[in-house]
Homo-oligomer: A and B are copies of this chain.
């Protein structure tokens, strides 16, 4: 796939596509077909760091290395950019959880959920932060769409808890409330966990699983406890 020398001098190739390096000066007429993703990545980082309302389109453009007018080739307006970030995050979350292994007991599914949620959210801290800090900046229609995705995720956990109660494995007074409480507890990890600190990711997952298991008053059963080797997610 031959490329003009000028472009080859400016960037490199990734999967057969010409990629401009982010620190290079850009000139009128230079193109990159990954500008869209780079705009979203820059917006994600800036929105998470400074808040949607406090970030200007000019700041986003500067981070990408283009002028502000160029952004509007990729988004009709600032609000749609925010919505896209949230929608993609929530869709990825739902898809990833639906790919979790099937045929497990309620206790095993709850452990899988606990470990999955912690890992998934820590790996996407900016998107998680935005997805519940900036809800009020969505239009009514966009807000409803994100809320539906969030509710679907909560309902998945509620199903696990309800099934565990039916099977006599859990003691949970109100599965709906318990699912919200559990998710809030797990998501809270993002506010304090930092890689390289006192606890590893695996440590944190195990500690939270221990608390979650006790919270639903599940017997130890054949499952894991304490520091032992666990399956992870």
Most B CB within 10 A of own CB, among A133, A174, A191, A211: A211
Write out the residue numbers on chain B whose beta carbons fall within 8 Å of the beta carbon of A199. 174, 177
Task: Give which listed residue, B136, B171, B177, B183, contacts A51 with CB less than 8 A.
Answer: B136
Is A214 touching B51 in the complex (CB atoms < 8 A)? no
Cα separation A191 to B180 with both chains bound (whole Å): 9
Interface 1/0 per residue, A154-178 and B, CB below 8 Å: 0000000000000000010110011
Q: A177-B207, A184-B185, A185-B185 are in contact. Are A214 and B54 (CB under 8 A)?
A: no
Is B180 touching A211 in the complex (CB atoms < 8 A)? no
The bracket for how many chain A residues form the interface is: 35 or more
Is A188 an interface residue when CB atoms closer than 8 A count as contact?
yes
Write out the residue numbers on chain B whose beta carbons fall within 8 Å of the beta carbon of A217. 214
Cα separation A136 to B55 with both chains bound (whole Å): 13
Q: How far is the CB of A185 from chain B (nearest CB, A)?
A: 4
Chain B residue at minimal CB-CB distance from A183:
B188
Is A221 an interface residue when CB atoms closer than 8 A count as contact?
no
Is B207 touching A211 in the complex (CB atoms < 8 A)? no
Interface 1/0 per residue, A181-208 and B, CB below 8 Å: 1111101100110000001000010011
Cα separation A50 to B135 with both chains bound (whole Å): 10
Chain B residue at minimal CB-CB distance from A176:
B198
Is A137 an interface residue when CB atoms closer than 8 A count as contact?
yes
Chain B residue at minimal CB-CB distance from A187:
B184
Which residues of chain A in 68-107 are interfacial with respect to chain B, using CB atoms and an 8 Å cutoff? none
Is A53 an interface residue when CB atoms closer than 8 A count as contact?
yes
Is A34 an interface residue when CB atoms closer than 8 A count as contact?
no
Cα separation A7 to B185 with both chains bound (whole Å): 53
Interface 1/0 per residue, A42-78 and B, CB below 8 Å: 0000000111111000000000000000000000000
Is B188 touching A51 in the complex (CB atoms < 8 A)? no
Is B53 touching A211 in the complex (CB atoms < 8 A)? no
Could you tell me which A residues sit within 8 Å of B by CB distance? 49-54, 133, 136-137, 171, 173-174, 177-178, 180-185, 187-188, 191-192, 199, 204, 207-208, 210-211, 214-217, 226
What are the 10 closest A-B residue pairs judged by CB atoms, nearest first? A184-B188, A53-B53, A53-B54, A185-B185, A215-B215, A214-B217, A181-B185, A174-B207, A184-B185, A51-B53
